[in-house]
Amino acid sequence: MPDTAHAPSARRAAARLAALAALATVVACSDPDAGTSNSEETAAPAEPAAKVRITPEDGATKVRPDLPVVVKADDGATLTDVAVDIGGRKDAGADEMTGSFTKDKTEWRSDWTLHPGSDVTVTATATTPDDEETEVVSEFATREATKGRRLELKSNFPSSGDTVGVGMPVIVNFDLPVENKERVESAMEVTSEQPAEGAWNWFGDKTAVFRPKEYWEPNQKVTVDMRLAGVPAAKGAYGTKNHQLSFEVGRSQISTIDSDTKRMTVERDGEQVKDFPTSIGKASTRAYTTTSGTHLTMEKYDRLTMDSATVGVPKGHPDYYKLEVDYAVRFSNSGEFTHAAPWNGSLGQANLTHGCPNLAVADAKWFYDNSVMGDPLIVENTDRELEVDNGWGYWQRSWDEWLNESATGEADDTSKAGTPGSPHGG
């Protein structure tokens, strides 16, 4: 029995059957002995005014979803419009299929990949040099993604609707290892209201991170269209869904902690608004040394239990501690938070902590209340450097290094549509 799971639409099939039925009626009613003059001969179907070729061809089934849709006009004709409908998803956010014309408008190529297991309709309009217009339609079906080999989005930071700091990266976590990193990078389009250069880096095979060359311009909207459907993530593995993420970059707030001066200063939109006395890691061991470098605020708790067992100092160890702290703001994955420390009488005078910057209660509350995810927090003058993969230490990598680690190796201009590479498979 033939495979009809994704055959062309019933509408087209019905039209063809109707045409055959009409032809049968004509034959049955004809007199086989009657002569036919030239004037009575059935006219041959008229040739289209403009010749247009669409790939994949009409009626094709099990088409690879990572192949581009290509439309070409021949014999001097030019294309005026191409529309792609993927299972009714036309013009729906990240599911909209855009494409690019050549300069002479004789060819159009899709920018993105197709949804697996979908019926696709491509409608192309072309015009001859004599202004005769032709519309050509191709209907085909893409193959299904194999169960267990379907790339899915597991999580992302930030979330849609979030307001973030100027240092906030875009972090995308997948459920399967990605081998074709360049293809997946090229399927994720970042656009911002203010121009910026940016690029993706990978941390392992399941996490992709986008950051701009410089901090985001404040007070603007950033949109990420993750057009993963049909992208060849690995051999035999395809993305199945598209996703759109939209967030706001808020005011610029950049904080600096200096180990030497034992002060924490906060700048808001380029002007200093706070200067707090602090006490940071006593540096008797590496674990008790606050990391130097550009951190980002990650999350915050109005009350938090701090247990040294979570950072490798178990219960029973001479240095073990477990205490409740107020107004904690995380800035690494190695147990570093700013927080209130009413017991510390050495703020601004000595570094005596296990690594966390201690603050007076009122100061800690102000910082807690006024921090958002992605605010830069810079620590200076300790001898322990923040690792690029410790928390969100992504600004520790220089722009040249960051660009070199991108699978495409090219910067993306976020003020323009498109990405530096192609998501299509070979």
Class of residue 341 by CB neighbours under 10 A (exposed 0-12, middle 13-18, buried 19+): buried
What does each C-alpha distance from 330 to 165, 187, 334 come to in angstroms? Answer: 14, 32, 10
Per-residue CA distances from 365 to 113, 221, 328, 370 (Å): 48, 28, 9, 8
Catalytic residue among 6, 354, 356, 424: 356
The two beta strands, 376-380 and 253-258, are: parallel
Residue 236 CA, distance from chain mean position: 21
Q: Which two tokens stand for residue 128?
A: 């001859």
**Tokens read off for 387:** 């690792």
Could you tell me the two tokens for 91? 């013009």
Q: Which residues pair with 306 in a beta bridge?
A: 323
Listed in sequence order, the residues at least 6 apart from 213 whose beta carbon sits closer than 8 Å to its beta carbon are 196, 197, 198, 399, 402, 411
The long-range contacts involving 282-286, CB below 8 angstroms and separated by at least 24 positions, are 282/351, 282/352, 282/353, 282/354, 283/351, 283/382, 283/383, 283/384, 286/384
Instruction: Select which of 115, 339, 354, 424 is catalytic.
Output: 339
- Distance CA(119)–CA(220), nearest Å, equals 38
339 in active site: yes
C-alpha radius of gyration, the chain, whole number = 31
Sheet with strand 293-296: strands edge to edge: 271-277, 263-268, 253-258, 376-380, 293-296
Provide φ and ψ at 93, rounded to 5°: 60, -125
Q: For residue 65, which amino acid is it?
A: P
Rounded-to-integer distance, Cα 183 and Cα 179, Å = 9
At 300, list the tokens: 């915050």
Alpha-carbon span 258 to 403, nearest angstrom: 29
Nearest to 317 by CA among 359, 340, 288: 288
Residue positions annotated with a catalytic role: 339, 356
